[in-house]
Amino acid sequence: MTIDISQVLIQGWERLIAQYKKGLIILTDEKSLELFFVRNCENVIQENKLNIPIGRQKEFYGKRVDVWVGNDTPNVIELKIYHDTADWKGTETSRNTVETDLQFAKGDSKIWVGVIDAIPSTNKQKIPFNIEWKECEIVENIFKKNYKDINPTSSPPRERKQRYFFVNGKNL
């Protein structure tokens, strides 16, 4: 059975979340999120003996995207890890970055958005999308060792129970 790019991306994301919860990877920022997501997708590609190019930080659709997968018209992925309250701020003239990425993806099956909210109990600006958030809880000793004191001093500490989503633009 052959899998398609969307299945590669979904499996790569699911593996990333499982590894994150167990402490097999440490996500400190968006660069580490990109790196581990790409590695997981590369593993899925290799396991299924596919020949699909994948890379990070390239200009597509008038925007520098975090990850791209595919040839002529690749799938592109925007990734965010929210560990600082400033990440969610928006003003009357500019949207927060989650909303900006979701607007970019809206209606386009070639664009995906993946978000991990490491401080879910903090107040955040509402986004005009009906997103189905999932929850994960980081193993307690892993959380204490890797994440308890990792946030910027301007932000509340990360929480053990976090939330995340991975959505395709056609579902927005």
The answer, as to whether pTM is greater than 0.95, is no
Give every CB contact of residue 47 below 8 A, 6+ residues apart in sequence: none
- Which tens digits make up the pLDDT trace of 61-110? 889 999 999 988 899 999 999 887 776 776 666 678 888 999 999 999 99
Residue 41, pLDDT above cutoff 90: yes
Question: Nearest to residue 102, comparing CAs of 165, 58, 60?
Answer: 165
Helix pair 5-22, 30-47: axis angle to 10 deg: 120
pLDDT band of residue 149 (cuts 50, 70, 90) is confident
Check if the beta carbon of residue 133 is closer than 8 Å to that of residue 165. yes
Give every CB contact of residue 139 below 8 A, 6+ residues apart in sequence: 21, 22, 23
Tell me the Cα Rg of the chain.
16
DSSP state of 69: E
- Which tens digits make up the pLDDT trace of 8-22? 999 999 999 999 999
pLDDT at 45: 97
Which one has a higher pLDDT value, 90 or 53? Answer: 53
pLDDT band of residue 126 (cuts 50, 70, 90) is confident
Beta strands 75-82 and 111-117, pairing class: parallel
